[in-house]
Amino acid sequence: MLRVGLTGGIGSGKSTVARRLAELGAVVVDADQLAREVVAPGSDGLAAVATRFGETVLAPDGSLDRAALGALVFADPDARRDLEGITHPLIARRTAELVAAAPEDAIVVHDVPLLVEKHYMPQYHLVVVVGAGEEVRLERLVQTRGMAEADARSRIAAQATDDERRAAADVWFDNDGSVDDLRTAVDALWRERLVPFEANVRDGIRARHPEDLVLVEPDPTWPVQAARLLDRIRLVLGDAAVTADHIGSTSVPGLVAKDVIDLQIGVHALSDVDNPAVLQALRDKGFPRGTGAHHDNSKDGTHWPKVFFGSSDPGRVTHLHVREVGSPGWRWALLFRDWMRAVPQAREEYAAQKRALAATGMTTSEYADAKEPWFDAVSARAEAWAAETGWEPHRG
């Protein structure tokens, strides 16, 4: 099963995306719909709301008077927290029931307006955000929903900013255009990413970078992408993840790289992750364990052990290296990254080495082997820099 979080600001077109995903076969769980369901006439939720806020929040027919309730809680944080304390557990319970009832091979789309505000992002395999310019959203709210302009602006201002949503988005749909354009983009996402992602998760398959070696110019969003992935991994591993870092070339600003995110989790002992329960939890989250030999940049002729995982997401190839905190391999990954970040000459030399190797036409696998002599040659320089600067690996 693949779990997708879907969100977007009011008037962005999120509902259009949800409807199209449902048409394509997704199981859509609508948080707004559930919020209405749990306070429907005769429900325990409505009874609890009436007990807390009084009969004035009930309409003559016994249903919830949403306007009256809104007037009570909108400007009163304590009242709003009390309301959420009643409704949120009920919504969460109903959501869990619907997800549990979905087929094993389902793509479950959780439509949550406040997904970013509540920081629900790590719960999902992928977060999809629908965005549109403020003036476009304002026009839609006034013309389509009949909202007063002042009310529409107030609703927009009360929600997360576009910058906050972009930081949360694995997929961003710009919806300043037509409905047909948006539906076309959704269809492509379904076909090219969601369907194969779900199959990979179900079968425990990691996405792989093509063997045709391609170096790309630095992407300023790589660190933000890494942060989202690390949040998901931390949610699975909990306290077992002593350290969590973005490493490798994509963690160094200005450095050309293969478009692969490398992550390192530091643990007290590899047995903390190398057991069936944790391995299954990581696989279910979309990080199956890799097989075969993997380069560990050993510099002293000894084995630097690790447990290797890869992401199942075909749209974001990711390598996850789990090493013991304080081990040589764990330390070297952090030292090399920080040396590259701090010393422009070293970074330029590495970039030149990368480009020279790529120009030979070698494969991605051959490229990994071919870089090892250069790493060996510069390790003493990196260590000298560490000694001169007093560098120590960060353990936060």
**Distance, first Cα to last Cα, the chain:** 33
Confidence class for position 350, pLDDT limits 50, 70, 90? very high
Nearest to 225 by CA among 313, 290, 351: 313
pLDDT at residue 292 tops 70: no
pLDDT at residue 287 tops 80: yes
Q: Which residues are annotated as a binding site for ATP?
A: 11-16
Residue 234 CB contacts under 8 Å (≥ 6 apart), including other chains: 122, 241, 244
pLDDT at residue 34 tops 80: yes
How much is the pTM? 0.90
Confidence class for position 293, pLDDT limits 50, 70, 90? very low
Domains and CATH numbers, the chain: 2-203 (3.40.50.300), 222-389 (3.30.460.10)
Q: What's CA 174's distance to the chain center, in Å?
A: 18
Q: Which residues are annotated as a binding site?
A: 11-16
Tokens at 106, concatenated: 């389902």
pLDDT in tens, 128-151: 999 888 778 887 888 778 888 787
In sequence order, what are the beta bridge partners of 110?
Answer: 5, 29
Tokens at 21, concatenated: 């995903």
For 108, phi then psi, to 5°, come to: -95, 120
Residue 357 CB contacts under 8 Å (≥ 6 apart), including other chains: 367, 370, 371
